[in-house]
Structure 1
């Protein structure tokens, strides 16, 4: 810990107080839950992160997922439900780390994740518009709520609108000044002073959402009465969101000195942060891109920068609990909406849109699903779409080429569509051979029908594992060759594949394949297979 980390924690805490409160509002619970989560997540989550500058705190995406989950929960029971959800999510993150599931975050398509986050941003913009303008909330979706506000302008409370728009003006006006790190604090305090001076008591405040406890928050055990299947499903959705976003934070905030981050270790740290956030009556937390950026720009040297911001938030909670309760709710809506607008990256959208029809489809489908469906359902759509895109990409990217023997070298050529009598064809495959890729290979293998004694050598160099689908495809092709007097050869075979595809397994299924193990010399096993195939063909040609 250094003096720089202590000082760097102050801007993080100043920005973390309004962000935490706004996240509580977004989740449909008291802003205090967001404050407690910001305090506990930053300190306890920061202890174990491998990404040293990562700040574990509330995020808009997870808050919106929580709010979607708690929609059908009685308002009087949401406080207990959100605590239980946070603890369950924390446990799921730790389990994910133990099972080393970090590597699977890369299977979530960039286009899908961007579409989801874009949908989250627009949900916040649309959903918080009534609160910003003091209009009644009507509609089941964020889009419907915003549309009702636009179509019923006489329902505005002009006082609330003045307060909300004043906060927006402060956030935008101070963004490019030296006060940018405390812009959110000014957006809270100045409108609050205006409300108090003018006596606008009809404007809702944080205190109206529930009691603001004073003193140091103490740990509490959760009430299990709120446990339900939808709550567990919501916790799973939050877990997926937090883990994928956390992996993104690790990429955007490399460690000082160049030490590599561990995704699974960050999973554990975020899980611990959620466990303690829940014990302190907080809401879900995760690696925050925005707060991590503030931590970096404030001069933090290591993990203590984020941890000290949690300590400073605790100080603010203890010293200024009364002030927190007087914050007007329209200012929190303003903070959320400005943050959502800033998170929209036009350059990224243009890049994805220019990447082709598949990327555009993934972006649009996930975006629309996030706007029109509950967030938990939208997460399911996104994960399912990512898997479909992965399988589709495997099928599209697979390429089969022919290798011709020229002396002791192998030269690429176009793969034939059919085999000829006594022909030896060496094939190499680029792309995945799992699932859809194996089926695509099946369609691209040369047709042996009508040929006599053909031999196909399939090069498997560099492949260490295979799927049951691939074995089925090769088995079917080997039997077709065998029926014509030919044979299938596999060269460059890794020992791990041979350990799975034993002679007993293949003979039991009527499959005859010649194996040539990979050697340290590239092409050696393929040339050996070709020499053996030549002997076989010459033998078959004898009268």
Structure 2
């Protein structure tokens, strides 16, 4: 009988792991009922679509995710994005438009995963990402305030609708507010108790029972908004007649929102088997889940921070917990789907409002503001864009802002320092010279990128080439592995100006690739105006060699 190694769990261990996954999946399925319904209501569609998505997406996506304990679920950010995207469609077309949107977003996410877009997330600055996710949460909170109060606004802009609610408090349904307040009070009261993980479920059930026995007038129920079908999630092909360029753009924005949120979960995840999560693969998995959900009347889904944390807390051992999560939700649909219709809409709004408030990163935003600089204004612009425009527009502004900040920072990070070698052969970093030493050697160290705009910034920070006669300039560029044509052009022009004043430029610390790029350009007068001194394994050896050559050249000129 073969023995089981320590690295390969035996049948009993695998069975125990599967039992833990089943229990965790069923637990998270029950707890996710309120959020699934609430996010669908937020998007302006039948709340049962959120439950359908929770059946399909985790089951499909969970089998392919690299983050083994990541939980795919409906999220407020994706629901808000979807709701804004389909708001212009007639009410009877919003459902089919939503399913088409989800399918397109799924295809975009699959594409992101295939091309390895996960590595691009690192280029989104922390202030922009924090402001965007917090802005979406704030918009979600404001958007649900009207539903919580039983008030309908004509404003399409989230901030405008919230202000409209504040100036129209005399028109709100206070009976509706009272029912919603029960849910709010329960969630706040249970937040710091052992029942915290089930707070949203308690907040869903208790006010629903109260409303069922009280039967207050003016309190809108889920069944008043949508018919709740029974049975399995229905299969249907997406309606391509609803396809528009605007819907495609919104699908791309939705995919970006899901990808950014999912990247945060992937990067924070720790797999039980010690393997490293792959952000791109997780994007691919979320894309498969959304594509599959689009055929079964499902809402958009993505990796959920809260649901993933709960999944770990209740004992999940592997990705099969997501599969059991979907199967558990299927059982709930088959057994208790008609009970969904009894839930007051204000209760769903209250659940989303609490989740949205908890998602706003007040501490992180305050820290970014205190640090100041460009990050402060990047955060402010992105946050306001999320509140004042649609989510797709905010995504576009965030992407453009990130690119602009990246280019500006790349151009400003280059620094120059003077170098001096003392009698004991020690290298000292000193202030860069304002002028070159006539018939002497000026040694300058370059720190930072030399690509694109940074090359022009370097040129501006070098001492004027005309400030010294017969000057030798040693420019240390160690650490730079890639340059571009801009650097070569700028350094060639500087060398030519030095030559016109009887000087010469020495570039030291060069990598092999760096040297080859300069040689292949055929723009630089090598060994005449410019001397290349390749880098060596011993730190400082190339610098000392360049200084020695420069001093020999100065002496050879008769000075």
For normalisation by structure 1, the TM-score amounts to: 0.93
Which deviations, in whole Å up to 9, do the C-alpha atoms of 1:475-523 show, x marking residues without a partner? 3222222332323222222222334333453259999533222222222
Asked whether the 8 Å contact 1:62–1:242 carries over to 2, the reply is yes
Q: Within 2, Cα distance between the matches of 1:214 and 1:350? A: 48
Which of 70, 75, 82 is the matching residue for 2:98? 82
Aligned to 2:537: 520
Aligned to 2:195: 179
Which of 525, 530, 535 is the matching residue for 2:547? 530
Which deviations, in whole Å up to 9, do the C-alpha atoms of 1:18-47 show, x marking residues without a partner? 112111122222222222222222222222
Q: Within 2, Cα distance between the matches of 1:216 and 1:449? A: 81
How many angstroms does 1:203 deviate by? 2.9
Aligned to 1:385: 401
Query: Mean Cα displacement is larger for which, 252-261 or 84-93?
Result: 252-261
Q: Equivalent residues in 2 for 1:325-474 (5 A)? A: 325-406=341-422, 408-474=425-491
How many angstroms does 1:322 deviate by? 1.0
Aligned to 1:309: 325
How many angstroms does 1:201 deviate by? 6.5
Which secondary structure does the structure 2 equivalent of 1:140 belong to?
A: coil
Runs of at least 5 residues in structure 2 that lack an aligned partner in the other structure: 1-16
Aligned to 1:146: 162
Which secondary structure does the structure 2 equivalent of 1:502 belong to?
A: helix
Query: Mean Cα displacement is larger for which, 384-393 or 127-136?
Result: 384-393
Which of 9, 14, 29 is the matching residue for 2:30? 14
Asked whether the 8 Å contact 1:138–1:144 carries over to 2, the reply is no
Asked whether the 8 Å contact 1:37–1:281 carries over to 2, the reply is yes
Asked whether the 8 Å contact 2:449–2:480 carries over to 1, the reply is no
Which deviations, in whole Å up to 9, do the C-alpha atoms of 1:213-261 show, x marking residues without a partner? 3222254321111211111111121122222221211233322354322
How many angstroms does 1:335 deviate by? 0.8
Asked whether the 8 Å contact 1:170–1:183 carries over to 2, the reply is yes
Q: Equivalent residues in 2 for 1:12-411 (5 A)? A: 12-200=28-216, 202-256=218-272, 258-406=274-422, 408-411=425-428
Identify if the C-alpha distance between structure 1 residues 227 and 500 changes in structure 2 by more than 3 Å, giving closer, same or farther.
Answer: farther
Identify if the C-alpha distance between structure 1 residues 426 and 261 changes in structure 2 by more than 3 Å, giving closer, same or farther.
Answer: farther
Asked whether the 8 Å contact 1:11–1:294 carries over to 2, the reply is no
Identify if the C-alpha distance between structure 1 residues 511 and 11 changes in structure 2 by more than 3 Å, giving closer, same or farther.
Answer: farther
How many angstroms does 1:398 deviate by? 2.8
How many angstroms does 1:334 deviate by? 0.6
Query: Mean Cα displacement is larger for which, 82-91 or 335-344?
Result: 82-91
Asked whether the 8 Å contact 2:450–2:480 carries over to 1, the reply is no
Asked whether the 8 Å contact 1:21–1:34 carries over to 2, the reply is yes
Q: Within 1, Cα distance between the matches of 2:79 and 2:106? A: 14
Identify if the C-alpha distance between structure 1 residues 81 and 445 changes in structure 2 by more than 3 Å, giving closer, same or farther.
Answer: same
Asked whether the 8 Å contact 1:20–1:38 carries over to 2, the reply is yes
How many angstroms does 1:106 deviate by? 1.4
- Is 1:481–2:498 an aligned residue pair? yes
Identify if the C-alpha distance between structure 1 residues 90 and 496 changes in structure 2 by more than 3 Å, giving closer, same or farther.
Answer: farther
Q: Within 1, Cα distance between the matches of 2:439 and 2:44? A: 73
Identify if the C-alpha distance between structure 1 residues 168 and 494 changes in structure 2 by more than 3 Å, giving closer, same or farther.
Answer: same
Which deviations, in whole Å up to 9, do the C-alpha atoms of 1:375-415 show, x marking residues without a partner? 11111112222222223333443321122234654332211
The RMSD of aligned alpha carbons is 2.4
Q: Within 1, Cα distance between the matches of 2:132 and 2:243? A: 27
Which secondary structure does the structure 2 equivalent of 1:2 belong to?
A: helix
Q: Within 1, Cα distance between the matches of 2:527 and 2:254? A: 49
Which deviations, in whole Å up to 9, do the C-alpha atoms of 1:318-351 show, x marking residues without a partner? 2211112222211111111011111223322222
Which deviations, in whole Å up to 9, do the C-alpha atoms of 1:439-495 show, x marking residues without a partner? 321211111114223222322222222233333322322222233232322222222
Identify if the C-alpha distance between structure 1 residues 159 and 384 changes in structure 2 by more than 3 Å, giving closer, same or farther.
Answer: same
Which secondary structure does the structure 1 equivalent of 2:419 belong to?
A: strand
Identify if the C-alpha distance between structure 1 residues 257 and 422 changes in structure 2 by more than 3 Å, giving closer, same or farther.
Answer: farther
Q: Within 2, Cα distance between the matches of 1:246 and 1:165? A: 32
Which deviations, in whole Å up to 9, do the C-alpha atoms of 1:355-380 show, x marking residues without a partner? 12323222222111111111111111
Which secondary structure does the structure 2 equivalent of 1:506 belong to?
A: coil
Q: Within 2, Cα distance between the matches of 1:423 and 1:220? A: 80
Asked whether the 8 Å contact 1:426–1:458 carries over to 2, the reply is yes
Identify if the C-alpha distance between structure 1 residues 541 and 76 changes in structure 2 by more than 3 Å, giving closer, same or farther.
Answer: farther
Query: Mean Cα displacement is larger for which, 6-15 or 335-344?
Result: 6-15
Asked whether the 8 Å contact 1:134–1:157 carries over to 2, the reply is yes
Identify if the C-alpha distance between structure 1 residues 476 and 340 changes in structure 2 by more than 3 Å, giving closer, same or farther.
Answer: same
Identify if the C-alpha distance between structure 1 residues 479 and 31 changes in structure 2 by more than 3 Å, giving closer, same or farther.
Answer: farther
Asked whether the 8 Å contact 1:417–1:444 carries over to 2, the reply is no
Identify if the C-alpha distance between structure 1 residues 420 and 507 changes in structure 2 by more than 3 Å, giving closer, same or farther.
Answer: closer
Q: Within 2, Cα distance between the matches of 1:15 and 1:242? A: 21
Q: Matched residue pairs, number?
A: 542
Identify if the C-alpha distance between structure 1 residues 501 and 75 changes in structure 2 by more than 3 Å, giving closer, same or farther.
Answer: farther
For normalisation by structure 2, the TM-score amounts to: 0.91
Query: Mean Cα displacement is larger for which, 509-518 or 461-470?
Result: 509-518
Runs of at least 5 residues in structure 1 that lack an aligned partner in the other structure: none
